Amino acid sequence: MSVAQDRAADFEDFVVARGPALWRTAWLLTGDTHLAEDLVQTALSRAWPQFGRIERDGGSFEAYVRRALVNVHLTWRRRRWWRNEISSATMREPQSVVDDGDSQVLSRHDLLAALATLTAKQRTVVVLRYFEDLTESQIAESLGCSTGTVKTHHSRALAHLRASSALAMND
Summarize as ranges the residues that interact with other proteins (CB under 8 A).
8, 11-12, 14-16, 19-21, 23-24, 27-28, 33-35, 37-42, 44-46, 48-49, 76, 79, 81-82, 96-98, 100, 104, 106-108, 111-112, 126-127, 130-131, 133, 151, 154-155, 158, 161-162, 167, 169, 171
Distance CA 104, CA 124 (A): 23
Q: Which residue's CB is nearer to other proteins, number 46 or number 145? A: 46
Q: What is the 3-state secondary structure (H, E, C) of the chain?
A: CCHHHHHHHHHHHHHHHHHHHHHHHHHHHHCCHHHHHHHHHHHHHHHHHHHHHHHHCCCCHHHHHHHHHHHHHHHHHHCCCCCCCCCCCCCCCCCCEEECCCCCEEEHHHHHHHHCCCCHHHHHHHHHHHHCCCCHHHHHHHHCCCHHHHHHHHHHHHHHHHHCHHHCCCC
Q: Which residue's CB is nearer to other proteins, number 33 or number 87? A: 33
Q: Which residue's CB is nearer to other proteins, number 29 or number 143? A: 29
Question: Is 86:138 a contact under the CB 8 Å cutoff?
Answer: no
- Least gap, CB of 109 to other proteins (angstroms): 9
- Least gap, CB of 63 to other proteins (angstroms): 17
- Least gap, CB of 107 to other proteins (angstroms): 7
Q: Which residue's CB is nearer to other proteins, number 141 or number 152? A: 152
- Least gap, CB of 133 to other proteins (angstroms): 7
Q: Which residue's CB is nearer to other proteins, number 8 or number 145? A: 8
